[in-house]
Amino acid sequence: MKIIAYGIRDDEAPYLKDWEAQHPDVEVKSESKLLDEDTVKEAEGFDGVVAYQQKPYTKAVLDQLGQYGIHALSLRNVGVDNVDADAAKANDIHVTNVPAYSPSAIAELAVTEMMRLLRNTKKFEDKMRHGDLTWAPDIAEEMNQQTVGVYATGRIGREVVKIVKGFGAKVIAYDPFPNPELQKEGIYVDTPAELYANSDILTLHAPALKENDHMINDETIGQMKPGIRIINAARGSLIDTDALIRGLDSGKIAGAALDVYEDEVGIFNTNFGSFDKIPDARLKDLMKRDNVLITPHIAFYTKVAVKNMVQFAMDANLSLLTTGKSDKEVNL
């Protein structure tokens, strides 16, 4: 059995080696480059492919895998929206993902950013860098006084609920498919508009589905409580960036924390050498604001999560190869 793993970073390599040591009957090739039209030829002669990237899995790539007789593609991440579904089906390629590598990792960063916004840490850090160690006017608010609105209560959303409850915050939530346990607690509201209107902090944990594209826009921002703070550690496409900027400019939105950004591909996880060389004016506008926190899609980036992403994906690929199925197979 032979599996090639594309896009393996230095931080992933030890976990791939551990998996390989536990499966001596499987030949594993680690490839640092991403899977694309140029590198797909490296997969010839292999039985399965494991990959992780923001670049698309194009028809050309999937057709080539099909020609090599490869029918098992395992992604080390959740999202599959960058997979050409028609090409995968045409080539009988079964695709798996890692639906839950560490819900706690994402939830903990989301709550960390809530606290940073409430305590004005970015403002104080900037003042202190300039020798200003005064307090006023940046008085903080307390989490125990907030109503936190959680949009979508899957694994990550439920972790957020658990954490903010520990701070004593009031929690409300919206999900078109309510969780039975949370439903018993009575935290759900009936509509997104009700969630927006009653939340001091709104945290998004919805998937990147077509119907969720730009769900945060001028209209929905208009439904929100004045002075709301918005957290997005889910998918960049959930927020219309221009609408967010307008909301910040007007003061309707008191602050935002974004770990994802709708135009992040080719920008996040890239070293441009200096702030001026970042090739996105809107992103730089947001980064300059003292009430906006930007992190470059790092919510997942913990030792536990990275280990699980690698080893769960390898397990899923091996399962496809040996049994023809996996509990992590996605329906494209």
34-57 pLDDT, tens digit each: 999 999 999 999 999 999 988 899
The active-site residue out of 23, 264, 289, 329 is: 264
Residue 31 corresponds to which tokens in the numbers above? 């490839």
Residue 100 corresponds to which tokens in the numbers above? 């839950």
The active-site residue out of 94, 158, 229, 297 is: 297
Please say if 297 is a catalytic residue: yes
pLDDT at residue number 54? 80
Give the E-state strand segments of 186-284 in sequence order. Answer: 201-204, 228-232, 253-258
The active-site residue out of 235, 246, 282, 329 is: 235
**Section 295-314 average pLDDT:** 97
Cα(240)–Cα(286) distance, integer angstroms: 13
Residue 23: Cβ-neighbour burial (10 angstroms; 0-12, 13-18, 19+): middle
**Section 179-183 average pLDDT:** 96
* 85, pLDDT greater than 90: yes
User: What is the pTM assigned to this prediction?
Assistant: 0.91
**Section 125-141 average pLDDT:** 97
- The DSSP secondary-structure symbol of 94 reads E
pLDDT at residue number 151? 98
Cα(173)–Cα(194) distance, integer angstroms: 10
**Tens of pLDDT, residues 290-303:** 999 999 999 999 99
Which residue has 């395992």 as its token pair? 74
Please say if 37 is a catalytic residue: no
259 Rama class: left (phi>0) / alpha (psi -120 to 50) / beta: alpha
**What is the average pLDDT value for the chain, to the nearest integer?**
97
**Tens of pLDDT, residues 10-32:** 999 999 999 999 999 999 999 99
How many residues are there in the chain?
332
Please say if 235 is a catalytic residue: yes
